[in-house]
Every structure is written in C-alpha cells, then in structure tokens.
Amino acid sequence: MDMFHRHRQADEHDLATVALECALQTPEYRPEALVWKGIEALPQDPKLAFIYLLNAAHAFPLRADIHALLGRSIIAQGQPLLANRYMSNAWQKLPADASLRMMLWQARSLSETPEDLRRIILAHLPDITAANELALVLKLLAAQTGLPGTLGVVRYLPDVQEIHGWAIDVHNVQTPVSLQLEANGHLISMVASAPHPLLTAAGLPATHGGIRIKVPNATPAVHVRFDNGTALLGSPMSAMPTFIAPPAALKVGDKQPVDVLIPVYDGLEETLECINSALEARKRNRTPHRLVVIEDATPVPALRKALKVLAGKGKITLVQNPINLGFIRSMNRAMALSPRQDVVWLNADTRVQGDWLDRLRTAAYADETIASVTPFTNNGELMSFPESRFSHPMPSAAEQARLDDLARMTGSPAMELETGCGFCLYIKRSALDSVGYLDEVELLRGYGEETDWCLRARDLGWLHVGAPNVFVAHQGGISFGAEKALRVAHNNAILKRRYPDASSRYENFCLRDPIRPARQALQRARLAQLPEQLSTPALRQLHIANSTGSQAPLSLTWRNKGQHAQATLQANVLPLAFSLDYELPADTEQLLHDLRSLPLEELIYQNLANCPEALCALAEQLDRPYRIVCRDDALLTPDSRFDSADFARKAQSIELPWQALRERYQPVSYNSP
C-alpha cells in the first residue's frame, strides 16, 4: 500500500492502479485496498463502490470513514432511506465521529418528511457542539417554509450559577431575538445580545445570539421563552445546586424499612395499576415499606389528581417535581429521602404480586456482597422470560399471578448477573453508600444509568443477582424515537469509555447463560398448565422438525450436537411462549412422560434426515397416528436405526411438497401414497 500511495501522490495513475491490484491480492493489504477501490469506483459506479466498501467494513468494523463512504454510496444509488437506516446504526456504534454525523444528516434530509426532520433536529440540537454540524442543521431548518424560525438552547450551569445558551431566528440571523425569562413569579424581558463562540464558528454573526444569565438564588423552575411564547430547548430548568448525596448513616440494612420508588410521568392507567398492585400486595409482605411516588411534572392532569387523592388518603408518599427533572435526577433525590433505608426502583408500567418484596429482600441479604437484585419478568434484559434479552408481551394480572406462584414454588436459586435492570431493582443502602448515586452530570436523561451504577459497584467488589423466584410484569416497549437514539448513543459511548471490558464480559455472560436453568425450571413448572392451553386443533398437532424446519403452533424441534441431540418442545401460547429443552437420549423417558400429559391428536414429521432415533420412535411409543411431510430423501436412504419403509407404510399419509421429490419417489410404492 505504501507503493500505491507514493504513485498516487505523484499522479502516476497507471502505476498506482497496478500497485492497488497487487495489494488487493495480498491478504495483509486487501482490506485497505478494498477501501481505495471503493473510493475510486464511487463517482462512476456507486454499486461497485458499495461492494468494495462493504467488504472493507467487515474487516474494519470500527472505521467510521468507511461507514461514511458506504452511506455516500447508498445515497448515490438513490436509496436515501436505506442510507438513513445504515448511518443511524453506524452512528449509534460510533457516536463521537463527526463524519458519520454529517453523513447521517445528509441521509435524513433526503429521506425524512419535513415534520420528522425538524423533530429529529430539535431532539439533537441541545447536544450539537460541532460548528459544521450546527451550520448544516440550521441550514436545513431555514429551508423549511411556513414554520417559526426562532430556535434556541439553554442549560443551567450550577458551578457558576448561570444560564448559558443561544437563540436566533434562522430567517433573520442579523437581528438579535427578544426573550422572556420567568422565575419565582417574575417576568423579565431581555435580548440574546451576547456573542457566542459556537454560533460564530458556524458562520453566524459574532455580535449576538448568545445568552448568559446570572441566577444568584436557588430557583426550582426557570422558564426562558421567545416573545411568541415558544420555550427554548432545555426550558424550563431547575436552577438548583448540584445534587450532593447525604452522608452514610449508621444502622442501615435488613432491619430498616424499604422505600419503593415509583417515578411517574405519563400513562394514567398503567401507573395506577402499578401503584394499586403494590398497595394490594402490602398485606402479603412482612417487610415494612412505603410507596414513594415521584411525579415528574406530568402533562396528564387526571394522573396528577389521582396521585394527590392517593396521597391524601395516606396510601402513598407523593413527591412532586416543579419541572421535569428526568429519571436520573428524580431518583437521586428520591433515594436520598431516607438515608438508612434500602430502596427499590419500580417502573410505573410494572405490576407486582404477592410477597414480592420479601422475596427480593431475602435474595439481597443472602450475601453481604450483594448490591442489587433483579426479578424475573417478561421484559427486563437478562432476566427476561421466556427468552433472555428479548421483550415479551406483558401478561394479564391473572396470568402473572400464576407465573409468580410457579416461580415462588419452583424456588430456583439466585444467580450472579453482570448488571441489574432498572424496571424493578432492589438496592441495598450499604451498597448505595459505598458506590454513590447516579451520574447526573455526564449521562443524559434516563438511559443506561443502572448499567453505569452496577458496573461501578462491580468494580468495587459488589455483586448483582437475579431472583428467579419472583416474577414482576413489565409493559415497557415505549419508543422515544430520535431522542432515545441520541441518549443511547451518547450514554453508551460514555459506558464504553469508563468500562472497556464490560462488553466482552457481557457477551461471555450471555454465551454461558447461567440464567437458563432457572428459565427451564419455570417452563417445566408451566407444563402442568399447558394441556388446558392447547385448546385448538392446531395446538394438538405435534410437528417434529429440525431446528430450522417448523414455525408450527406446537412443535418438537431437534438439533444434533455430536454424540447427542437437543430437542425443544415449543408451544405458541399467549402471552408467553412455552419452550422446554431435552438432552437426547438421556432425557428420552422424561420427554415421553411430558408428551403423554398433553392432549395430542397426531404427529407430523416435517424432517427425517438425521432425525434422532428417539424422535422417530415417538409415534409408536405414544400410540398416536402420524403423517409425514417429506422434504428430503430420508425414506429412500437405508438407515440401520429404523426401518424407513415400515415407518412410511404406517403413516396416515406422505406429502411430497416439491416436484423434484415426487419424481425421485415415483418408483417407490407405500401403502400410504
């Protein structure tokens, strides 16, 4: 590649081409050569450039310049929406790279509707600090006609007790804009007349646009608006001192009551269901506790009123934020309310059952080094059930009660986790005093805060565990759109910088999957209830296939693993699918016992090639009729394990779905054609 670059810089194009072709044939230099082949092809043949660059990206997954070039090649092919998706994924992995952000804005400008483009820009605008990026997005907004041109960003800096920011009219950048500041019942008119270095660097006038306001006294809510009443991004603000954690108290631990902290912003029905479930469960728990509801300036008047009624009746302790502080700042202040007590984070879209708190507390105090406990749930990262790291539908109250009872009776032991999950997280006060509170300085609102806290705790020797004997339902799944994408990318970059080994540890944990035995134990406990759920004819037909061969409502899939095989019994029952694994031949008798408990009407063999002998014998052992949907040559191939001709003759029918198979099977005659 050195020779290529020397010839290229000397404008010796023919020699550079020869050197590049040689590099392309050399494994050591091939990835870099692919990049330059893509650059050369981009102006004339973007499709060819895409092929070169995509191969280069596989070799250099963290090279932002290659991803940006790929984005250009996709746009050049007239696929801006695809470019938008590709660049969004690349940017979330490499959020600090300026070239990716610029290419992403270009793709967005070509693929998003004007309304969505404006919404996305406004979500990102407070965090744009690069002059060229700001100039680009302001240009995009200025091109939108029929919309107000006033734009601005403010934030409170507690260290200097000042509000800083900027405000302009993109349709009239030469004139300073007028603003109104409201605080403590007073209204002050002002002009954005200070210089602002970011605006100047972005090519805007150097004489005005900046905002700098001294706030000498602590003020819970400060509003900054344009004359037309539109709030600047970041307004209202809390002009209060930086949160300082209370000093560690004496006599903390399992003898103290617990604060169950429920942060609330939106969602009337789910919030009240969450609170009512916790109130209903109070009598089932011996652990003394109170419900602390943090109302984070909800925009739903009915929710605010309902919370006040509950507080008036003494059912909850209500904390009302004067402005929306977000999850991190709200929870820090809530965790500091009772410096001796353990706390539980409980999302407002969860539902609890029975003695849930007692069981979490027992798990927390099983070892003095345990910092946090996360229960089983349908939607909770590592502790998700029936499949880890997936979001599953929220069960009804009755369905959850059955699952929670089964989890409690099964009694699977707690296991160590890499991190807890904030939907329902029991945190011991001793750990909180040791580790500290949430980071409300660097982390943006409400994403990854529990991961950061858990990783800090782990670095100090604390453990996090999962409690599979508790099942808390969690709705989740609410999308925050572009704003969430921003928070995810921003906060993930911070976490990667702080904990460089966390990703590899997490991946290794997922490969080991120490939670799997507990998931399987709960599934086995569900087996007794499965027959009543197999209510339709389709759910009484057992489809037997290899691991890629069936999407049937009730199936038994298999995968050969050397000297043994793994079989999985699956049922698409609602709301949470049933899935139970067996190791064959060791678990053959258990599999037979389980299948005999089900109201099976027939078996349907979807694949026979390499099918485990134990599964081929099921039809006879269960004394059930069976059909064969033949997708291979298994019935034509001699097999010492079983008599394929006899197996075929005893089938109710044999279906050959493909013409090529029908031609190969034509010379063969079975009783069941």
Looking up tokens 């690069």 gives: 130
What is the rounded average pLDDT of the residues 472-488? 70
At residue 492, does pLDDT exceed 90?
no
Predicted confidence at residue 488, as pLDDT, reads 77
pLDDT, tens digit (0-9, with 9 covering 90-100), for 223-272: 999 999 999 999 999 999 989 999 998 888 778 999 999 999 999 999 99
Whole-number Cα distances in Å, 100 to 62, 86, 91, 97, 125 = 12, 11, 6, 6, 16
Determine if the peptide bond prior to 575 is cis (ω within 30°).
yes
Amino acid at the residue 365: Y
Structure token digits, residue 330: 């709200």
Cα torsion through 357, 398, 579, 472, rounded to 10: -20
Q: What is the pLDDT of residue 673?
A: 43
| Integer-rounded Cα radius of gyration of the chain | 31
Q: What does the pLDDT look like over 536-569, one tens digit per residue?
A: 898 999 999 998 767 899 999 999 988 899 999 9
Query: In the numeric block, which tokens belong to residue 26?
Result: 């050399």
pLDDT score of 654 more than 60: yes
Q: Which tokens in the block code for residue 331? A: 């929870």
Mean pLDDT of 466-490: 78
User: What is the secondary structure of 479-491 as a DSSP string?
Assistant: --HHHHHHHHHHH
Pick the range with the lowest mean pLDDT from 275-284, 519-528, 529-538.
529-538
- Output the pLDDT for position 441: 86
pLDDT of residue 480: 45
Q: Which long-range contacts (CB under 8 A, 24 or more apart) does 73-79 make?
A: 73/38, 73/42, 73/46, 73/47, 73/49, 74/46, 74/50, 74/107, 75/106, 75/107, 75/110, 76/42, 76/46, 76/49, 77/46, 77/47, 77/50
Mean pLDDT of 640-645: 78
pTM of the model: 0.90
Query: What is the reported pLDDT for 671?
Result: 47
* pLDDT mean over 46-50: 97
Q: Which amino acid is at 594?
A: D
Question: Phi-psi bin for 381: left (phi > 0), alpha (psi -120 to 50), beta?
Answer: left
Of 150-164, 339-353, 612-626, 643-657, which range is least confident? 643-657
Q: Which residue has the higher pLDDT, 286 or 216?
A: 286
Judged against a pLDDT cut of 60, whether residue 482 lies above it is answered with: no
Edge-to-edge strand list for the sheet holding 602-605:
578-584, 564-571, 554-561, 541-546, 602-605, 626-629, 654-655
For residue 193, pLDDT over 80 is answered with yes
Give the confidence band of 669 by pLDDT, cuts at 50, 70, 90.
low
**Is pLDDT above 50 for 340?**
yes
Please compute the mean of the pLDDT values over residues 518-545 and round it to a whole number: 94
Output the CA torsion sign for 403, 407, 408, 409.
positive
pLDDT tens by residue, 401-436: 999 999 999 999 999 999 999 999 999 999 999 999
CA distance 480 to 492: 16
- Does residue 349 contact residue 343 with C-beta atoms inside 8 Å? no
**Average pLDDT score, the chain:** 93
pLDDT of 135 strictly over 80 = yes
Any idea where the domains of the chain sit in the sequence?
Answer: 2-111, 148-239, 258-518, 534-665
Decide if pLDDT at 478 tops 60.
no
Alpha carbon separation from 367 to 414, 424, 463, 513 (Å, rounded): 11, 20, 9, 22
Q: Which CATH number fits domain 2-111: 1.10.357.10, 1.25.40.10, 3.40.50.170, 3.40.50.2300?
A: 1.25.40.10
Q: Which residue has the tokens 């999957």?
A: 513
pLDDT tops 90 at residue 477: no
The rounded percent of the chain whose pLDDT value lies above 90 is 82
Are the C-beta atoms of 571 and 577 separated by less than 8 Å? yes
Q: Are 634 and 662 in contact (CB under 8 A)?
A: no
Residue 358 in this model has a pLDDT that exceeds 80: yes
pLDDT in tens, 105-134: 999 999 999 999 999 999 999 989 999 999
- Both tokens of 270, joined, read 């789910």
Average pLDDT over residues 443-461: 90
Report the percentage of the chain scoring pLDDT > 70: 97
Q: Does domain 148-239 have CATH number 3.40.50?
A: no
- Is residue 562 a contact partner of residue 501, using CB atoms and an 8 Å limit? no
Torsion, Cα 71 74 76 78, to 10 degrees, reads: -130
Architecture field, domain 258-518: Alpha-Beta Complex (3.90)
- How far apart CA 242 and CA 236 sit, in angstroms, is 17
